[in-house]
C-alpha cells in the first residue's frame, strides 16, 4: 500500500472524532480499509488494546523469553500461530496484516518504512505478538475522573528511552521505554493505585518526578509521540511502555521486524476488565 504519507494522499481519511461510540470491530473495519492512521487512545473504551511485534519464527522463542523476563514493559496478551495472520485468541476476524492503523518496518534493526497495510509483506514463517498497552488503564483513569491531556488534545502520548535496563534474552536487550503523563501529585497517587489492578497493561508507574533519574535528558523531546505541556502543580509520571520491544529490536537486528507505529494499537475484542486483577474470574 506504500508509506503512510502516500496512503493519506490517496484516500479520504476519517478523523479521531468519527470513532466515538464505535465498537472495536467497527473501528478495525475502518483501519482495514485504510481510512484512519491516527492514534487509538480512547477508541472502543473498555476494550483491551495491544502493541504489536511481528518476527520470523527463528526469533520467536527468544522474543517470548524476553517478554517473560520483562513482564512490566512487555506483558504478552496474544501470540499467533506461525504463518497465521489471524489473532484468534483476541477476537473475531482480527487480521494482524490490516487491522492496525499504521505499522513500522525494521530491517537489521533499522527503521526503513511506515505503512498502513502489510499484506504484501506477509510470510509463512511470521509470528505475531500482542503486548498489553497503557491505553487499557487509561480508560480506567478517565472513568475515575483523572483527565489525560494527550487524549483531550488528540495527541500521541510522549514516550522516552530510559536507563532502566531490561533483562536480556537471546539477542533482545536494551533500555525500558516509558510513556509519560503529567498529573498532580494527588492524581498520580490515585493513578498508581488504579493501574496496579492492570498487570497486563503495564501496572503501576515505574517512576514519578525527576526525568533525569531514569536517564531522560529533555522531557520536551520524546523519542516517540508528542511533546506534552505541564501546568502548575503537575509532575511527570512514567509507565513502562510496550514500545520497549522496538528499542530491543535495535540490538537484536533481526533481518525483518514489523511493529505497530507508536500510538497506533491493535484494538481487540477482549474487555479490559479481563486484565483487572481485582475483578472476579480474572485470569491474573
CATH numbers and ranges of domains, the chain: 4-135+251-274 (3.40.1640.10), 136-240 (3.30.2040.10)
Residues 6+ apart with CB under 8 A from 108: 253, 254, 255
pTM of the model: 0.84
Mean pLDDT over each residue of the chain, to the nearest integer: 90
Dist CA 75 CA 78 (whole Å) = 9
Q: Is the pLDDT reported for residue 268 higher than 80?
A: yes
> Quick check: 231 and 193 in contact, CB under 8 A?
no
DSSP codes of every residue in 86-111? B-TTS-TT-BTTTSSS-EEEEETTEE
Q: Pairing state of beta strands 207-208 and 234-240?
A: antiparallel
- Give the pLDDT confidence of 81-137 residue by residue, as tens digits: 999 999 999 998 999 999 999 999 999 999 999 999 999 999 999 999 999 988 778
* Percentage of the chain modeled with pLDDT above 70: 92
- Give the pLDDT confidence of 171-183 residue by residue, as tens digits: 999 999 999 999 9
Q: Is the pLDDT reported for residue 3 higher than 60?
A: no
- Give the pLDDT confidence of 81-93 residue by residue, as tens digits: 999 999 999 998 9
Dist CA 277 CA 247 (whole Å) = 28
Q: How confident is the model at residue 4 (pLDDT cuts 50, 70, 90)?
A: low
Residues 6+ apart with CB under 8 A from 135: 40, 41, 42, 49, 201, 265
Amino acid at each position: 500500500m506504500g508509506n503512510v504519507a502516500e496512503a493519506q494522499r490517496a484516500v479520504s481519511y476519517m478523523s479521531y472524532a468519527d470513532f466515538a461510540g464505535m465498537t472495536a470491530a467497527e473501528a478495525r473495519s475502518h483501519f482495514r480499509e485504510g481510512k484512519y492512521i491516527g492514534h487509538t487512545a480512547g477508541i472502543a473504551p473498555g476494550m483491551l488494546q495491544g502493541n504489536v511485534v511481528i518476527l520470523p519464527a527463528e526469533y520467536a522463542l527468544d522474543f517470548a523469553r524476553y517478554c517473560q523476563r520483562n513482564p512490566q514493559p512487555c506483558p504478552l496478551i496474544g501470540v499467533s500461530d506461525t504463518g497465521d495472520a489471524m489473532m484468534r485468541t483476541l477476537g473475531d476476524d482480527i487480521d494482524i496484516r490490516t487491522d492496525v492503523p499504521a505499522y513500522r518496518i525494521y530491517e537489521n534493526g533499522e527503521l526503513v518504512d511506515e505503512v498502513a497495510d502489510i499484506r504484501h509483506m506477509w510470510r509463512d514463517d511470521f509470528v505475531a505478538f500482542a503486548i498489553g498497552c497503557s491505553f487499557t488503564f487509561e480508560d480506567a483513569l478517565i472513568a475515575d475522573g483523572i483527565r489525560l491531556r494527550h487524549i483531550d488534545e488528540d495527541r500521541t502520548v510522549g514516550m522516552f528511552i530510559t536507563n532502566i535496563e531490561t533483562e536480556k534474552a537471546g539477542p533482545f536487550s536494551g533500555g525500558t521505554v516509558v510513556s509519560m503523563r503529567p498529573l498532580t501529585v494527588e492524581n498520580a497517587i490515585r493513578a498508581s493505585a488504579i493501574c496496579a489492578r492492570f498487570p497486563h497493561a503495564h501496572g503501576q508507574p515505574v517512576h514519578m518526578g525527576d526525568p533525569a533519574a531514569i536517564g531522560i535528558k529533555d522531557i520536551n523531546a520524546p523519542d516517540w509521540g508528542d511533546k506534552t505541556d505541564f501546568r502548575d502543580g503537575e509532575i511527570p509520571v512514567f509507565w513502562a511502555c510496550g514500545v520497549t520491544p522496538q528499542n530491543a529490536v535495535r540490538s537484536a537486528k533481526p533481518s525483518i521486524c514489523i511493529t505497530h507505529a507508536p500510538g497506533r494499537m491493535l484494538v481487540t475484542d477482549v474487555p479490559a476488565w479481563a486484565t483487572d486483577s481485582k475483578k472476579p474470574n480474572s485470569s491474573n
